[in-house]
Amino acid sequence: MTPRIQRRVVPGLTTQWPDAVHPVLRRVYASRGIASPDEIDYRLAGLLPPTIGGMDRACEILLAAIRDDVRIVIVGDFDCDGATGTALAVRGLRLLGARQVDYAVPNRMRHGYGLSPAIVEELLPRKPDLLITVDNGIAAHAGVAAARAHGMRVIVTDHHLPGATLPVADAIVNPNAEGQIEKCGQGWPLLDVGAQDAHLRCLAGVGVMFYLLLVLRSRMRESGRFAATSEPDLSVLLDLVALGTVADLVPLDRNNRILVDAGLKRIRARRTCAGIGALFTAGRRDIARAVASDLGFVVGPRLNAAGRLEDMTLGIECLLTDDAGRAADLAETLSAINIERRELQDGMTAQAQAEVEKWIASRGAEGLPHGVVLFDPGWHHGVVGLVASKLKESLHRPVIACAPTGEHNGEVKASGRSIPGFHLRDALAEVDARHPGLIQCFGGHAMAAGLSLNRADLQTFGAAFDAVARERLAPEMLDAVLMTDGELAESDFSLELAQLLRYAGPWGQAFPEPVFDDEFTVESWKVVGERHIKLKLHHRDRTVLMDAIAFNGYVGEAPPARLRAAFQLDVNEWNGAQSLQLLILHMESA
């Protein structure tokens, strides 16, 4: 679907900004709700206080566990947030004095998602006394019950939205468990997370675990556990927090931007763990110039690939090792798995697009469901979320892609991606309420969710999901819109501004990287790498020539001689020299 270019509304700039802040940057910040320079002050002192319900109870359990030297097992998730959160929990607890800390991560094929009875059973030979979930557990009723039946205590740390009830854990730390006043563990109440917690609801799973470690360190300090010079520095873990936060696509509110900015500064200074450094090298990115997009598009996918196709243990080991050689070997293995993932994803996406085109050819574009559900018996269920994401982008409507589990039991695993204005998890909850038993289990966020169901119920589910989507999506919400920050003056097309914008973030989810739009005349163009277009452009009718590139922009015909483009100012490096390059995101005839 061809997007419509729309410019962001820029409110009046009532705050006096320092002269050092470029006027274009002031405009960009204002359109993202930044009202004063204080909001882009990313010192760690500006982090919001840890007012998440359940923290005190969790710290009581952890203080006793460290004092009594019990066996602790971290149970993570098989995505990048789960991997970084697991590595952070292991490293952080060891820093704080825990001596028997191990981890386990579900295998997508054998265990399914999160703390399940199956993974509890596999942990029995290790004889853990305490399980701590990271980035999962808020819906693990059966898994928590199984663990406690075997005499294990359970602390759940998660950020996913809870269901109607909470698991009976010994402690639950989740900033998104607002209003849930259930009895947990030994009869203590999960605190009602009220308005004071609203500002922490954007934390990723790794961020929740980091906050818990901060509070635990504070409690240990109060109890005199540390000598005057021996208090552990938990800021060494911020590279992991940054990676997991960016990769999980949680909104980059100011608090998350503080965390990500601090982590990126450590990475650029090469004060990162060996694994992240090795993943930058494997991705052929200059770690000294690291930005959030490198975490989201280079490092994160390599870790995620392990959880999708193999075993996330590979990724966690890469983040835990302090041996540079071993980290390099693991990073290369992860890169090879990522190549396999990309090839598999491309094939599955092509199949999905072909099915959509056949549907449109036979029924017309107006017959396309508002909520699209796709299934193929040959698809890999570890990659369906990426297929849904690609189709969501091209169709601009919520998409759920489904695949068999491979267990020959008729079960289907599905992953969905949504568009602005359509809360995917709430939509699944509505389907579940209307058709009890149709969905076996589900969970997620506004923009992404997962579920499982029987293959025989796919048609019924597809119709039910489309019905909810038609009720909740007004026709105009199905129109793709590319938001831009407007035009640039001739003097703003500069390498200096491109470099400034690169580090003016961190940019990411809900705090998008600056995009501009304008009209250009094409002086020349050529195809590179079969699918990309290199161009030389005149800005409007002026004589200054600018280099530009449109990745995947070649569709078999020449670009318009005069075009309107949405673009980013990019820094192109070649043979050690830097120059300005326009990164074309969309172009159309002017």
Same domain, 450 and 494: no
Same domain, 66 and 171: yes
Which whole-number Å values give the CA distances from 124 to 113, 121, 151, 313, in the listed order? 19, 6, 10, 18
Cβ atoms 148, 168 nearer than 8 A: yes
Q: Per residue in 229-257, pLDDT tens?
A: 689 999 999 999 999 999 998 999 999 99
What mean pLDDT comes out for the span 435-459?
91
Q: Per residue in 52-91, pLDDT tens?
A: 989 999 999 999 999 999 999 999 998 999 999 999 999 9
Domain boundary among 174, 207, 228: 228
Q: What pLDDT, on the 0 to 100 scale, is given for residue 514?
A: 97
Percent of the chain with pLDDT over 70: 94
Same domain, 472 and 492: no
Q: What pLDDT, on the 0 to 100 scale, is given for residue 184?
A: 36
Domain boundary among 185, 203, 228: 228
Element (H, E) at 193: none
Kindly give the pairing relationship between strand 411-417 and strand 399-404: antiparallel
Q: Per residue in 13-27, pLDDT tens?
A: 666 788 888 999 999
Mean pLDDT of the chain: 91
Q: Provide DSSP, 45-73.
A: GGPPP---TTHHHHHHHHHHHHHTT--EE
Same domain, 93 and 207: yes
Q: What pLDDT, on the 0 to 100 scale, is given for residue 332?
A: 97
Same domain, 126 and 26: no
Contacts of 32 (CB under 8 A, 6+ apart): 511, 512
Q: Per residue in 352-361, pLDDT tens?
A: 999 999 999 9
Cβ atoms 72, 41 nearer than 8 A: no
Same domain, 176 and 162: yes
Nearest to 445, CA basis, from 158, 27, 219: 158
**pLDDT band, very low/low/confident/very high, at 162 (cuts 50, 70, 90):** confident
Q: What pLDDT, on the 0 to 100 scale, is given for residue 302?
A: 96
Same domain, 466 and 573: no
Q: Does residue 526 lie in a domain region? A: yes
Q: Does residue 290 lie in a domain region? A: no
What mean pLDDT comes out for the span 297-326?
95
Domain boundary among 196, 228, 260: 228
Q: Per residue in 401-425, pLDDT tens?
A: 999 987 667 899 999 999 989 999 9
Q: Does residue 556 lie in a domain region? A: yes
Q: What pLDDT, on the 0 to 100 scale, is given for residue 195?
A: 34
Same domain, 490 and 455: no
Q: Per residue in 348-397, pLDDT tens?
A: 999 999 999 999 999 888 889 999 999 999 999 899 999 999 999 999 99
Per-residue pLDDT for 94 more than 60?
yes
Which alpha helices (DSSP H) does 223-299 contain, by range?
A: 238-247, 254-268, 274-282, 292-294
Per-residue pLDDT for 307 more than 70?
yes
What mean pLDDT comes out for the span 92-100?
96
Q: Does residue 200 lie in a domain region? A: yes
Nearest to 117, CA basis, from 83, 149, 81, 157: 149
Per-residue pLDDT for 544 more than 80?
no
Same domain, 161 and 97: yes
Q: What is the CATH number of the domain that holds 207?
A: 3.90.1640.30
Q: Per residue in 483-540, pLDDT tens?
A: 999 999 999 999 999 999 999 999 999 999 999 999 999 999 999 988 999 999 998 7
Same domain, 471 and 488: no
Q: Does residue 519 lie in a domain region? A: yes
Q: What is the CATH number of the domain that holds 550?
A: 2.40.50.460
Q: Does residue 354 lie in a domain region? A: no
Q: What pLDDT, on the 0 to 100 scale, is given for residue 443?
A: 83
**pLDDT band, very low/low/confident/very high, at 9 (cuts 50, 70, 90):** confident
Q: What pLDDT, on the 0 to 100 scale, is given for residue 109?
A: 65
Full 3-state SS string of 379-440: CCCCCHHHHHHHHHHHHCCCEEEEEECCCCCCEEEEEEECCCCCCHHHHHHHHHHHCCCCEE
Q: Per residue in 200-215, pLDDT tens?
A: 999 999 999 999 999 9
User: What's the domain range around 516?
Assistant: 4-37+483-589
Same domain, 93 and 212: yes
CA dihedral 60→136→209→257, nearest 10 degrees, is -150
Here the tokens at position 556 are 């078999």
**pLDDT band, very low/low/confident/very high, at 164 (cuts 50, 70, 90):** confident
Nearest to 259, CA basis, from 281, 277, 234: 234
Cβ atoms 34, 507 nearer than 8 A: no
Number of domains in the chain: 3
Per-residue pLDDT for 337 more than 50?
yes
Q: What pLDDT, on the 0 to 100 scale, is given for residue 16?
A: 74
Per-residue pLDDT for 179 more than 60?
no
Which whole-number Å values give the CA distances from 340 to 309, 334, 346, 406, in the listed order? 9, 10, 10, 19
Q: Per residue in 504-515, pLDDT tens?
A: 999 999 999 999
Percent of the chain with pLDDT over 90: 76
Q: Does residue 320 lie in a domain region? A: no
Same domain, 374 and 455: yes
Per-residue pLDDT for 189 more than 50?
no
